[in-house]
Amino acid sequence: MRILASVVAMVTVLGARAAGWSGLDRLTEMAGRWSDSRPRVATAPPTVAVLAAPAKLTFPGGKPGLPWPASGQAQVQVAGIGMIGHSGGSDPVPIASVTKVMTAYLILRHHPIPAGQEGPTIVITAAEAAAYPQQKARGESLVRVAAGERITERQALEGLMLASGDNMAEILARWDAGSGSSFVRAMNTAATDLGLTSTHYADASGLDAGSVSTARDLLKLAPIAMAEPGFAKIVAESTATIPLNRVKTYNTLLGHDGVIGIKTGSTAAAGGCLLFAAHRTVSGHTYVIYGAVLGTTGTSGTILPRVLAASRRLIVATGDHLHKTTLIPAGTTVASMTTSTGTAAEYTVAKDVTVTGWPGLGYTLSLPAGLTAGQAPTTLTLTTHAGTGAGGEKRTIALIRKTSNPTGTRTPTGTSTATTSTGAKAPAIHYPQAGSQKWKFAAGKSAVAGRTGPLLRYRVAVEAGITGESPKDFATQVVNTLGDKRSWTGLGTWRLQRVGAGDPYDFIIYLVTPVTRDRLCGDTAAGEVNRYTSCRNGNSVVLNVARWVHAVPSYGAALSVYRQYMINHETGHRLGHHHELCPGPGHLAPVMEQQTLGLHGCRANAWPTVDGQAYNGPAGAYGDSATGTSADKS
């Protein structure tokens, strides 16, 4: 082109000399017309990267039901993942000897025991020895002591945590703070510092019913205490020998079902209580299950066995639900933008994003804050959401650039291998994130599909700016799907006919860009951002071109099947059908299941009938990334 421009310039000069300089303007004008005849491509301005995947994801499967105790309160969580569930109330209740968890934690914070050592020596006072007979008469849990007896810090803590010695709590409190009251003040200060907002200690042993807490607070304390190596070692012991005593733990779950601690408790005021920790290994990685069960009812002889049994059921059930899955397969497009050079870029996850969790666990995807127009995202954040204060996980995911295509005035984000209405291979479908919101309607009419039932007429429209999918070809796919005997018209309840732009109609089936999808589905007006799913909003059946081109990860069927599902599902909403759930692992998915959000154990299915009969699942819906509007989103 530079050579051509030079030739034009030379011709201009030579012509000017031959014709006289007065002809220069005319020749320059001719050269300008020649130059302007070249095709020009308008460069799209750069945009800020946006998500091209749902902002909210869900671990596949139905939410687990745990065997919660019939009385009291309970909560279970998995360290690093979050809370799997809770039951009962949330008011502070007496916690009996579970109080000793804070006692032991504070002692070890003030007097750490080096690995392999026993810690300082504690001398039993005459008053502490003299109090033993009275304490025994009151039925307290005790460790036998004698005046002048010398025990190590470790032995005292073993007497406290294994034998649940109330007198050991008092002895340790005096040794650490000079008096029981001073130590209790330190316990309450520590509770405040640790954010235990519903916890108050009245004594160091828990014998006083004024020592109260909640399951939620105790599950904040448990992982902190277990992070102290000396604490974790002691609560993992079944038996210990200390002067005058051979003690054993009350926690008979220890060593079974992965249980590694931590403390039992039982009084008439508190009922049966257990704060527990258990290991569970999933795909070679060991997780810690923490749980608190408080207020199990029964007699003095049954409350402790009952709370142990209830806790074991929760431990086993939680472990059974915990497993690993691929949440986002490698190569999945998760972000898109227009670069500073006017090209479209898509960004995919570099490798499979695998997570360990349980069915129904929620996740949020987010791009880094502060990205500027044209700035490429290199990472994505995946945040686990499993209950307030449950310690949900945050992970950084590496992204790689997938495509870079000249856009002109378009922002292409995908291609497909569909065929045209004539059977020829279709051109690649290109589309911008935000289209013109102007429509190209398919002309003409189709035959009436279906033999009986009310007749509904529909138009078919493609948003201007989408290329490679003409209104005629899009309409052909819609008509072929809705006219199939496996579709809604095969049930004998409806007749459907496509009509042209000037004909009366009952609804319109649109193929739209992601941003226009949000406007037609009502998300924009509600302040929501979706851009991922399709929807039906009133008389608008809105099919997202991003899904039309890319389908969804792990769908397990051809793109043509997913497109048939899109048409049948959203049209089903217009015909009055609501969302349904997967009927069970391995079953065909009902067409009204939100298959775009995952199959939840079912197999892909595009049709509302199977073997000529209506095929349905249980009523219900799975989570969507934008649920604030009245539209049906899938």
The active-site residue out of 87, 141, 164, 211 is 164
300 CB neighbour count, 10 Å cutoff: 10
Is the distance from CB of 381 to CB of 396 less than 8 angstroms? yes
Count Cα neighbours of 161 within 13 Å in the Cβ-side half-sphere.
32
Q: What is the CA radius of gyration of the chain?
A: 35
- 37 included as an active-site residue: no
Strand partners, 286: 281
- 300 included as an active-site residue: no
- Torsion sign over Cα 612, 617, 620, 623: negative
Nearest-angstrom CA–CA distance, 464 and 440: 6
The active-site residue out of 56, 71, 87, 97 is 97
Take residue 97 and report the two structure tokens written for it: 């000897």
User: Using a CB cutoff of 8 Å and minimum separation of 24, what contacts does 33-39 make?
Assistant: 34/8, 35/5, 35/8, 38/1
Q: Is 112 exposed, middle or buried (0-12, 13-18, 19+ CB in 10 A)?
A: middle
- Can you state the angle between helices 100-110 and 215-226, rounded to 10 degrees? 30
Nearest-angstrom CA–CA distance, 210 and 222: 20
Q: What region, left, alpha or beta, does residue 496 occupy, with left being phi > 0 and alpha being psi -120 to 50 degrees?
A: beta
Strand partners, 76: 85, 291
Nearest-angstrom CA–CA distance, 11 and 35: 13
Residues in CB range of 83: below 8 A, 6 or more apart: 75, 76, 77, 219, 386, 387, 388, 389, 390
The active-site residue out of 100, 263, 440, 633 is 100
- 141 included as an active-site residue: no
Count Cα neighbours of 494 within 13 Å in the Cβ-side half-sphere.
21
- As a whole number of angstroms, the longest Cα–Cα distance in the chain is 130
Nearest-angstrom CA–CA distance, 315 and 322: 11
Nearest-angstrom CA–CA distance, 49 and 35: 36
Catalytic residue annotation: 97, 100, 164
